[in-house]
């Protein structure tokens, strides 16, 4: 079976330890998480966790089914690349100890529609919002100046169009009966 990148979008109850509980499932099964991002939704009682990992389709579906069994999980969706908008925020601190270097870096940054969020006599800190390819391409160009530090948020994703993770489907309700009975 072919291993490829998959994005899992998971809604969970916003309670202490929930991120640890979800990530432990992957660790127990021996799967590596390439990217994980977590944050509250429009409802402060609900957190969305976005996980990117490599695996074949059968493995991903098995992990999604096991995630749905966790009491803290409200809903799980496997997002396809074509049907989702994915973004990552990357902060890059780069050496810029002369006016000429700063000017050259600023030109490169503007081409990528990135922004400078901090400036000092010796450094520029650049914010890049986009897909992984955009961030990597910009970092490759900035590497010539000397990368001092890179911080990445991890990928977040949402479905395109009218579909949402809240859809009343078998995926979101498959294991809810047992949760409500407890």
- 72-117 pLDDT tens trace: 999 999 998 888 999 999 999 999 999 999 999 999 999 999 999 9
- 135-157 pLDDT tens trace: 999 999 999 999 999 999 999 99
Q: Distance between CA atoms of 8 and 52, rounded to whole angstroms? A: 6
User: Residue 179: its pLDDT value, please?
Assistant: 52
Q: Strand pairing of 115-119 and 4-13?
A: unpaired
Backbone angles phi, psi at 79, to 5 degrees: -95, 130
User: Residue 44: its pLDDT value, please?
Assistant: 94
Cβ within 8 Å of residue 79, ≥6 positions away: 7, 8, 9, 157, 159
User: Residue 170: its pLDDT value, please?
Assistant: 40
SS3 75: strand
User: Residue 113: its pLDDT value, please?
Assistant: 95
User: To which H or E segment does residue 117 belong?
Assistant: strand 115-119
- 3-58 pLDDT tens trace: 889 999 999 999 999 999 999 999 998 899 999 999 999 999 999 999 999 999 99
Q: Distance between CA atoms of 88 and 130, rounded to whole angstroms? A: 6
| CA 106-110-115 angle, 5° bins | 80
Q: Distance between CA atoms of 147 and 91, rounded to whole angstroms? A: 11
pTM of the model as a whole: 0.82
Task: List, in sequence order, the alpha helices (H) in the chain.
Answer: 18-29, 57-69, 99-111, 132-142, 170-173, 176-181
């Amino acid at each position: 079976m072919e291993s490829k990148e998959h994005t899992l979008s998971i809604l969970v109850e916003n309670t202490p330890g929930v991120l640890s509980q979800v990530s432990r499932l992957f660790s127990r099964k021996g799967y590596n998480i390439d990217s994980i991002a977590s944050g509250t939704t429009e409802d402060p009682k609900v957190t969305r966790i976005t996980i990117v990992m490599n695996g074949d389709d059968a493995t991903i579906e098995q992990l999604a089914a096991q995630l749905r069994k966790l009491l803290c999980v409200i809903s799980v969706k496997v997002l396809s690349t074509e049907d989702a908008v994915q973004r990552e925020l990357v902060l890059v601190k780069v050496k810029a100890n002369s006016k000429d270097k700063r000017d050259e870096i600023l030109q490169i940054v503007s081409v990528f529609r990135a922004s400078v969020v901090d400036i000092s006599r010796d450094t520029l800190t650049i914010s890049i919002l986009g897909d992984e390819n955009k961030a990597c391409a910009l970092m490759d160009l900035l590497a010539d100046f000397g990368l001092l530090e890179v911080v990445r948020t991890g990928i977040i994703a949402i479905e395109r169009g009218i579909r949402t993770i809240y859809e009343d489907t078998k995926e979101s309700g498959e294991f809810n009966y047992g949760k409500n009975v407890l």
